[in-house]
Every structure is written in C-alpha cells, then in structure tokens.
Amino acid sequence: MTLSLHVEDLSITAPGGRVLLTAGRFFAAPGETVGLRGPSGAGKSTFLYALAGLQPHMSGRLSWGETDLVRLNDGARAGFRRQHVGLVFQDFLLFEELSALGNATLATAFAPPAARRSIRETAAEVLSRLKVPSGRRTVDSFSGGERQRTAIARALAHRPSIILADEPTASLDRDTADLLITDLIGLARTEKKTLIAVSHDRHLLDCMDRVIDIADGRLKTEVSPA
Ligand SMILES: Nc1ncnc2c1ncn2[C@@H]1O[C@H](COP(=O)(O)OP(=O)(O)OP(=O)(O)O)[C@@H](O)[C@H]1O
C-alpha cells in the first residue's frame, strides 16, 4: 500500500495550549523522500511526531491517504501508527539485553498472531540485507552503525508504507552515516515507501527528493498538490 500525505492549515499545540507548529499547505506523493531541516527548537520533531500520529492536540488537516489523523482519537491514531508507520529515532531506543532479531521483531508483541510470521521474516530479511550481526549476540556489544541498522530493521519489520526518521545519522561517524543513508534511501526507493527525515546532515539532505525548511514553528516551503 502507498499513501500520499496532505497537510492543510495544520496547527499543533502543546497540552498547555501553546502553539508549537503551524503549516499552511504541504503535499508529498507516495514514495517521495523528504528532508526536514531547521534550527534547534524550530519544531522539526514536533512535526515529525505529528506525522506519526503521536501528537494529540492538532487542528486543520493531516491526512495519509484517506485517513485524517486530526480526526482520529488516541486509540485510532495508535492503530494507524502500528499498521502504517515505521519510526527511526536518533537514540535508537533498543533493548540492550536482546539480540538484533529480538529488537527488530518487537512489533510481534502488539501484532495479531497471523501477522507475526511476516514480521519475523521481514525483520530477518532486512537485518541480513543491512549486514547486521546475527545470532544470539545482544545489541549492547554492537557498534553505533550496527545499532542504528537494527533500529531501521525494527522500523521496517511490519512493512509500513511510511518511514519517519529523527536525525538518523546524528550519532554516527561520517563513513557509517553515509552507509546508513544509502541503506535507508535504497530501502525506501525499492519498496516505494514515503521517507520523511529530520536531519542536519547535508549528505542525507542532498539525497532526498525534496528538503523542507522549518523555522520559528512554521513549515516554510509550501507545495500544492500536483
Ligand atoms: N509537549 C510540549 N510542551 C511544551 N513545549 C513543547 C512540547 N514539545 C515541544 N515543545 C517545544 O516546542 C519547540 C519545538 O520543539 P522540537 O523538539 O519540535 O524542535 P526541533 O526543531 O526538533 O529541535 P532540535 O533540533 O533541537 O531537536 C521547542 O521550543 C520545545 O521546547
């Protein structure tokens, strides 16, 4: 499944009511790769987490395909996220005492029994493709690059059509970061997944189809539907 993104007059507020981010009009085609850049505190993570269905206080429109996340309640948003979104965080959030496969198949805990086998197979396939150490070795002994690739396999294991990444190369050295960029963008392109990544990394941003600037709580580049 592929999903287009349609944002219109979006406003995201903090629980206390403070407006964190506004966006006029923004469209991304299914399978597009989009970079989000801007100064610290501009609202990049706020927007990314809204795209993931992790922001409860929104008005306007934020639709993936036919589903407008603004109109869903917390449970429905969580359901959408589990089914369609793969999230790659900056600090990996891995379980140290588990193997790469153990981490990459965490989604099986929340998935219906019928979907578990497919999650295990996809996780194993992506781990092997990304050359992550296999076997029972736990991730606490992995390098930064191996940890980040494990996090990518976990994000992709349930075959989401949307990949959202927050500074995926931030804690990696240049060579490891460049490999990661190639892997992440390669996976997105071959599987026609929409990839949206917050990053300060010019190498990563240069590889994306488009880069959107966020400053002072506002999405700067506004693109109309094609
Ligand atoms: N739940 C919240 N309540 C109040 N303020 C918040 C909340 N979440 C984020 N903010 C504020 O919103 C602003 C934008 O934060 P955000 O994390 O989106 O910035 P960012 O562009 O990702 O920055 P960085 O590059 O430093 O990670 C910041 O001033 C932050 O303190």
In-domain check, residue 57: yes
Atom 30 of ligand 1, nearest CA residue = 41
Q: Rounded to an integer, what distance in angstroms lies between the CA atom of residue 135 and that of residue 148?
A: 17
| Span from the CA of 41 to the centroid of ligand 1 (angstroms) | 5
The span from the CA of 56 to the CA of 64, in Å, is 16
ipTM of the complex: 0.94
46 contacts 53 by C-beta, under 8 angstroms: no
Instruction: Identify whether 225 is part of a domain.
Output: no
Task: Identify the helix (H) or strand (E) that includes residue 83.
Answer: helix 74-84
Residue 83 lies in a domain: yes
Burial 114-141 (b: 16+ CB within 10 A, else e): eeeeebbebbbebbeebebeeeeeebee
For residue 198, the cross-strand partners are 36, 166
48 inside domain: yes
On whether residue 46 sits in a domain, the answer given is yes
Q: Does residue 226 fall inside a structural domain?
A: no
224 inside domain? no
Q: If you measure from the C-alpha of residue 14 to the centroid of ligand 1, how many angstroms do you get, rounded to a whole number?
A: 9
| 65-91 pLDDT per residue, tens | 999 999 999 999 999 998 899 998 776
Distance between CA atoms of 24 and 10, rounded to whole angstroms?
6
Q: What pLDDT does 177 receive?
A: 86
Residue ranges making up the domain that contains 91: 5-219
Q: What is the pLDDT of residue 224?
A: 47
pLDDT of residue 144: 84
Q: Which residues line ligand 1 (CB under 6 A)?
A: 14, 18, 20, 38, 40-46
Q: Is residue 138 part of a domain?
A: yes
* Among 13, 19, 45, residue to substitute to test ligand 1 (most atoms within 8 Å of Cβ): 45
Positions of the chain with pLDDT lower than 50, given as ranges: 224-226
Structural domain count of the chain: 1
Nearest CA to ligand 1 atom 18: 43
Measure 46 CA to ligand 1 centroid, in angstroms: 6
User: If you take atom 28 of ligand 1, which residue's CA is the nearest one?
Assistant: 41
Domain with 33 in it: what CATH number? 3.40.50.300
